[in-house]
Amino acid sequence: MPSKIPEGETRGWIVPIGGAENKENDRHILERFIRVSGGEHADIVVIPTASRMHETGPRYEKLFNDLGAAQVTVMDFDTRRDCHEAGRLRRLEEATGIFFTGGNQLRLTTLLGGTPVAKLIRVRNANGVTVGGTSAGASILSEHMIAFGDEGASVVSGSVRLAPGLGLTNRFIIDQHFRQRDRLGRLITALSYNPFAVGIGLDEDTAAFIGPDETIEVEGSGGVTVVDASDLTYSSIGEVSEGQPVCMLGLRLHILVAGATFNLHTRLAAAGGLVQAKE
């Protein structure tokens, strides 16, 4: 469950990235991650646990150092026992930004889920620390996580499996590599299970910077697909058999690009400052 924000405090930024963010020429996403993590005073902990490639952590360490972070530490976890180590917990207490790399989101949740590290990251975010991730590292940030599912535009019963995520918030469900891997159907199917959450589909090299006021601000070269099921009038998900198409009426869909916003509380979208009111 999301941690309660202490009285007088503001929640930190939550920054899911759709994967394959530009790391060479136009590094606006990672640059902004540093800015919202303290700028020149940013103290970043990189968690590469989702990846089995040994170079992943050092690569992001170099990137964040080159972009001006004051301090960067790579913290990997090989066993759940690692998540109880006092030294690791103290280091996370010091961080102003925590970043999860890509890889396999189930590797992350099975190693970190239910541990002191997972609880501390939720608490730190509730106390103002920025937490973000790319690809699999984006998927885990919310309470409800897409573990795996079928690609394509069709909404099909049983075509997606959900698992508990890190639980920074319960307001959205993330899907990444969105247009590149044709994942609209699985995101809407996930929402059919519980229309409370907002579906956020992140294209590659695109991030949703979600501020303390629950507003999504888009950064990057692609788009963010927002699926709002709050006005859903009908769903057949509870009536059809697994493998059958699902009927859903009343969905609202927005395509946001850099500079556009969506408020997760009011469910209002804006493009270039022009608010599109909810009907």
Q: What does the alpha-carbon distance between residue 198 and residue 265 come to, in Å, rounded to a whole number?
A: 10
Catalytic residue, chosen from 37, 51, 135, 157, is 135
Q: What 8-state DSSP symbol labels residue 169?
A: B
Judging by beta carbons within 10 Å of its beta carbon (0-12, 13-18, 19+), is residue 128 exposed, middle or buried? middle
Would you call 135 a catalytic residue per the annotation? yes
Structure tokens at 202: 């992140």
Helix, strand or coil, per DSSP, at residue 188: helix
Would you call 177 a catalytic residue per the annotation? yes
State how far Cα 213 lies from the chain centre.
16
CB 126 within 8 A of CB 5: yes
Q: How many CB atoms lie within 10 A of CB 154?
A: 14
Q: How many CB atoms lie within 10 A of CB 107?
A: 16
Q: What does the alpha-carbon distance between residue 182 and residue 171 come to, in Å, rounded to a whole number?
A: 23
Catalytic residue, chosen from 204, 217, 219, 254, is 204
Question: Which residues, in sequence order, are CB contacts of 109 under 8 Å at separation 6+?
Answer: 140, 145, 163, 164, 165, 166
Catalytic residue, chosen from 142, 177, 219, 235, is 177
Would you call 142 a catalytic residue per the annotation? no
Integer CA distances (angstroms), 64 to 7, 43, 79, 170, 267, in order? 32, 10, 26, 29, 33
CB 97 within 8 A of CB 43: yes
Report, as residue numbers or ranges, the catalytic residues. Answer: 135, 177, 204
